[in-house]
Structure 1
């Protein structure tokens, strides 16, 4: 990032210029994640040259997804397909108020376990995301690392992991729990576990949660996350050539 700019003020751009440069596509003033890793794009700023470079790296369908604090104001000719807002939340200390993980689920009698997730778990991870819709998760998102899952027997019922890594920070993402395993504190447990791994690496955990996700906000607040900024996200289609 340029001097005087906080990495979390432009997290996608910061991550793709730094730690995640190996999975970045593009050049000039716009970059995007490799399309099998993540949907997000980043720009250096809101100048016309940045939007022109962004148009050059749009997919074959002309789509881009932008995610950053502050409003997104696209130039004329771009079509907005959907948009929304979220809370960017940062954990400055260690997680607190973390429930204990039971060894046996009292409702089902199944053994409960927690372990790191990897490529062999991708099918189950994709299926869990499809059922719970925490946000984008693609076939190779797991390669960004740090995913933790909770199992009932052999069935994955909750998970969280790492996504963007702007300088000095790491985003916790894909926090989700299957409907069959709710009200057991699993979202708090996996979030705290991922956060502890991030802090052990010397980075600060942060996450993004939609402003209308009223169930998740208290969970993260109890763990010690505090709102830093209001974020915007938008899916746009570039102007026709």
Structure 2
């Protein structure tokens, strides 16, 4: 088995090799998620990303290559780089003691639309309805309304990523995100897996993640490409 440290250097790749292998779309050694679930792609050999990108774009208009330090190659007659999101990976060291006073609900299939709508309200752009299938989602409700969530995204036999940390603008600064991240982290630890997360460099939420016990470990960049 590949070590945790090696998996964390290329989390999309190893997620698609293990837990999410049923979502795998592969072109000549370059791995992508089924575009209905996610548009993340991964590689080791950047010389293969040109043809693979062209093939993947037959079924979607955009995708991300996720890479620690490699630069993908593309066919610029068919694909253009919209932006490079300079991100970072954080890995849990020791979870801080967090008082969970809200009722946190495991969100079943009945909440797919509410999850989708809340994420698109706060972070519009790239979440897909079937992204929900990548892992468990948890939420806090107020007056019958879903107002804050966290989810699980990339995962293998060794780690699970905390993702989709979203709170409705009318319900921020109430500690909901902190409690949800702590709850989701505990659920990952119960599976004897390492909790990780990814965020943009300079994100104002990084101090919160650090207070919860997450540590910055490496760069993890998102290259967003679109069809010409």
TM-score of the two chains, using structure 2 as the length reference = 0.89
Q: Does 1:52 align with 2:51?
A: yes
Q: 1:227 aligns with which of 216, 225, 228?
A: 216
Contact 1:132 1:177 in 2 (8 A): yes
Backbone CA RMSD of aligned residues:
2.3
Contact 2:85 2:224 in 1 (8 A): no
Give the corresponding residue for 2:141.
151
Q: How many angstroms apart in 2 are the aligned matches of 1:25 and 1:5?
A: 24
Counterparts of 1:1-241 in structure 2 under 5 Å? 6-46=6-46, 48-60=47-59, 63-75=62-74, 77=76, 78-93=79-94, 95-102=95-102, 113-133=103-123, 136-214=126-204, 216-237=205-226
Q: How many angstroms apart in 1 are the aligned matches of 2:135 and 2:3?
A: 28
CA shift at 1:99, angstroms? 3.7
Contact 1:81 1:235 in 2 (8 A): yes
Q: How many angstroms apart in 1 are the aligned matches of 2:136 and 2:4?
A: 30
CA shift at 1:134, angstroms? 7.6
CA shift at 1:50, angstroms? 4.2
Gaps of 5+ in 2: none
Which of the two has higher C-alpha Rg? 1
Q: Deviations over 1:180-226 (max 9, x none)?
A: 11111111111111111111111101000111322x10110000000
CA shift at 1:62, angstroms? 5.3
Gaps of 5+ in 1: 103-112
Q: Deviations over 1:117-174 (max 9, x none)?
A: 1211011111110121187321111122211001112101110011101451111110
Structure 2 residue matching 1:164: 3-state secondary structure? strand
Q: How many angstroms apart in 2 are the aligned matches of 1:166 and 1:45?
A: 21
Relative distance call for 1:130 and 1:237 in structure 2 (3 A) is: closer
Relative distance call for 1:54 and 1:167 in structure 2 (3 A) is: farther
Q: How many angstroms apart in 2 are the aligned matches of 1:100 and 1:33?
A: 34
Q: How many angstroms apart in 2 are the aligned matches of 1:204 and 1:69?
A: 19
Relative distance call for 1:96 and 1:87 in structure 2 (3 A) is: same
